[in-house]
Structure 1
Amino acid sequence: MSQSRRTLNTLIRLGRALREDARSPDDQATQSPLRAAGQAASARVTPTLQDAAGRLRAGAQGLRDQVQARADDRLERLITERRTGGASDPEALAVLARRREAREARAAQAQARAELLAQAHTPEQRQVLGLVAAATVWAGGEPGEVRYTTLLDRLAPGGDPAREMAIHRALWTLAERQVLAVSPHGVVTAPYPRPPLALPPS
């Protein structure tokens, strides 16, 4: 059996074991109706809708940053032109500098998210990466944890075998390419991309 096949089988077994643990009878018995309703509602939010919502949020933030940048540039010019010979309000300029740094950081995160999603070669891989990116700070996401079982529940609701296999294969392929990492406890993360190695001068 090839190494790739063994890796895939390991991931499938891990996903099944974690899913069975997450759905133990005790958990099901103590699950509140409100929580069950929330999980059912989240299952109806398809990965395609989540991806579209993520793009809309990123676009809206980009527009806000552009408007703020133009306003800050005008304010900075007014401050520096109030007196001949330079800035007259160091505190205001420091505030503007911090705002500029925050915008640049958000722009870098948006670029990092786009580059992460660009690693997908199939729709399933893009769906997996979209959910992981949403919990990855360096890609503009909120701090959080994505588990193997979460991906299966969100992307293959109902336990459809063909759909589950497609998600397993997407995860396996991304893990093989080191785009994602899966811990022994089933936590899926996107490692911070390493910068390309500098080539020695010829």
Structure 2
Amino acid sequence: MSERRTLTTLIRLGRALTDPDADPARDAAQVARRTVQALSEPVHEARAGLRARARDLRDRASQRADERLERLITERRGEQNPEVLALLEQRRAAREARTRQEDARRTLMSSAHTPAQRQVLRAVLDVTPWAGGVPGELRYTQLLDRLAPGGDAAGEMSVHRAIWTLAEAGVLAVSPHGVVSAAPTRAPQALPGPADR
């Protein structure tokens, strides 16, 4: 994919150099913007992978610490203190909630097939609390401004395609007011079979 993008960029650069009416500063800015976008995608993916790995390691360490703490408390005291049990249960519930959020995020990200779809999903998931993001609202126009900042028609079109492809797949929802949100994942439904009747 990157070779095709590089070839396309070189073709556009060649046209810009041979076209006498072209504005070199504008064309150079477009080439620079596309280059930065092409190079930033692998960095974003690597960063997301590292964050997920760090969260996973942190959760495993926390789980081991809680299990060890529980075992030590049981060994030192014959009976269990209700306050300590409640605190341990609270920590366990928080850890399981983080695991569910990470699983939901991973499931939604697996439905993205193009770099533009991954960028859109990352931006939406950053403001989706049930998928590990902070509570917030993301509008369609904000997505366009963030992911296609120069107003480039090709860039905006790829963002439009990504949003609506994900919306048709049931991954995203777009409200009539332009709010883009992630749709919770659902278990696949099937018609009842002969054994269910």
TM-score (norm 1): 0.70
Partner of 2:58: 64
Q: Indicate whether 1:151 and 2:143 are aligned.
A: yes
Change (3 A) 1:163 1:104: same
Tell me the CA shift for residue 143 of structure 1: 0.4
User: Structure 2 residue aligned with 1:125, among 106, 117, 121?
Assistant: 117
Partner of 1:91: 83
Check conservation: 1:48, 1:127, Cα contact below 8 A.
Answer: no
Partner of 2:33: none
User: Structure 1 residue aligned with 2:133, among 133, 141, 153?
Assistant: 141
User: Structure 1 residue aligned with 2:157, among 151, 162, 165?
Assistant: 165
Supply the distance in 1 between the matched residues of 2:42 and 2:145 (Cα, whole angstroms). Answer: 15
Check conservation: 2:41, 2:115, Cα contact below 8 A.
Answer: no
Partner of 2:181: 189
Tell me the CA shift for residue 185 of structure 1: 1.3
Partner of 1:80: 74
1:73-98, Cα deviation, whole Å (9 max, x unpaired): 111011122345xx432211211111
1:56-84, Cα deviation, whole Å (9 max, x unpaired): 33322222221111111111011122345
Tell me the CA shift for residue 200 of structure 1: 3.6
Q: Compare CA radii of gyration and give the structure with the larger one.
A: 2
Supply the distance in 1 between the matched residues of 2:140 and 2:151 (Cα, whole angstroms). Answer: 14
Supply the distance in 1 between the matched residues of 2:96 and 2:190 (Cα, whole angstroms). Answer: 24
Letter in 1 for 2:159: I
1:134-170, Cα deviation, whole Å (9 max, x unpaired): 1111111110111111111111110111111111111
RMSD: 2.3
Residue ranges of structure 1 left out of the alignment (5+ in a row):
1-42
Residue ranges of structure 2 left out of the alignment (5+ in a row):
1-35
1:154-197, Cα deviation, whole Å (9 max, x unpaired): 11110111111111111111112221111111110112222333
Supply the distance in 1 between the matched residues of 2:126 and 2:46 (Cα, whole angstroms). Answer: 13
Letter in 1 for 2:51: R
Check conservation: 1:147, 1:187, Cα contact below 8 A.
Answer: yes
Letter in 2 for 1:114: R
Name the structure, 1 or 2, with higher relative contact order (CA <8 Å, separation 6+): 1
Tell me the CA shift for residue 51 of structure 1: 4.3
The residue matched to 1:94 in structure 2 has which SS? helix
The residue matched to 1:181 in structure 2 has which SS? strand
Check conservation: 1:134, 1:140, Cα contact below 8 A.
Answer: yes
The residue matched to 1:188 in structure 2 has which SS? strand
TM-score (norm 2): 0.72
Q: Indicate whether 1:178 and 2:170 are aligned.
A: yes
Q: Percent identity?
A: 61
